Amino acid sequence: MVAIRPVAHKLPSYVPFLLVLIDLRCEAKTDNIVAYLKYNTILTPYLLNFGSMLLLFLCSEVRECLKLDPDHKQCFSHYKQVKKLNKQIQAAEELIQQDKYSDVVSKYESVIKTEPNVPQFILNAKERICHCLSKVRLTTANAVSVCSEVLKADPQNVNVLKDRAEACLQDDQYEEAIKDFESAKEHSENDRQIKEGLERTQRLLKQSQKRDYYKILGVKRTAQKKDILKAYRKLVQQWHPDNFQDAEEKKKAEKLFIDIAQAKEVLTNPEMRSKFDEGEDPMDPESQQGGGHHHHFHGGWDNFQGFNPFGSGPFNFKFSFN
């Protein structure tokens, strides 16, 4: 069964197209193979221009065409392709539910290869790639690049704005992250995630102007534990107070030595590091009083705009292929 849940306020611009589609569908119900050919082949380019929702809806109709002529090459080829796309998308979304974001990227790249000729379809797949890259440390540059590509074509896409903001945060681009959150807020002012993300980013910006444990150790926010320990060992040897004879230099080294030790303690402790990444300083009791909580953005398929020619709503349909 196919369940289509369009957005009411965007329907008017699609009404003429949908009326033509309905007329052809009614004609096709008379078992007229010519009508089905028109319905499934001549109109296909127009359907593709509206994105994959109608493409997938068309797939179920193609099966009717195959019932009339099982050997029809065009119907069978189209049915086979959409069946493959549906399988790839479902596999990718299952991985997202398991937080296996790195694996999802290759899955959606395969989706693009399967259907490389429909701009809107490609754009929606890249939106998912943007989302997954923003969740993976060490891929922030790629995330910003892919998200920016999507936003160039769809500048009001709130999901992508939030994802790019998160990617910017991981790369210490606080001002850019604030711009994206504020832009997202303009289009979805009641979104609690945007509000919390903006507040968290502002705390991190303020924090970066004070004591930044990442900067103390000279590592990025995406640094892994082994890199943090390596930087720590190097700095401990360099700034050990015993290395300095001058009183002023020794005093400076002692203070820095303490900062280095605290930075190592915070960044190698998952709970403390998580608090620091939220804008709290675990070593500063006053900082923790105003702490917030980080919520993941649209992690599930049900909250994703994508693959919908009407611009929003979930990909709320499945196919059962025999």
DSSP string, 153-184: H-TT-HHHHHHHHHHHHHTT-HHHHHHHHHHH
- pLDDT reported for residue 229: 97
One digit per residue, the tens of pLDDT, for the chain of length 322 reads 333 333 333 444 444 555 555 555 555 555 665 566 555 554 554 454 444 455 556 666 667 777 777 887 777 877 787 778 878 888 888 999 999 999 999 999 998 998 888 787 788 899 999 999 999 877 788 999 999 999 999 999 999 999 999 999 988 899 999 999 999 999 998 999 999 999 999 988 888 778 889 999 999 988 999 999 999 999 999 999 999 998 888 888 999 999 999 999 999 999 999 999 888 889 877 665 544 444 444 543 333 333 333 333 333 333 343 4
- Is the separation of the CB atoms in 167 and 179 below 8 Å? no
Q: What angle do CA 117, 119, 123 make, to 5 degrees?
A: 125
- What residues does each domain of the chain span? 1-100+108-115
C-alpha to C-alpha distance for 165 and 46, rounded to whole angstroms: 34
> 183: which residues sit within 8 A by CB, 6+ positions away?
161
Instruction: Look at the alpha carbons of 126, 130, 133, 139 in this order and tell me if their dihedral is positive or negative.
Output: positive
pLDDT, residue 144, reads 94
pTM of the model: 0.63
Residue 90: count other Cβ atoms within 10 Å of its Cβ. 14
| pLDDT at residue 51 in the model | 46
Predicted local distance difference test score (pLDDT) of residue 22: 56
pLDDT confidence of residue 126: 94
Q: Say what the pLDDT of residue 12 is.
A: 45
DSSP string, 275-298: HHHTT--TT-HHHHTT------SS
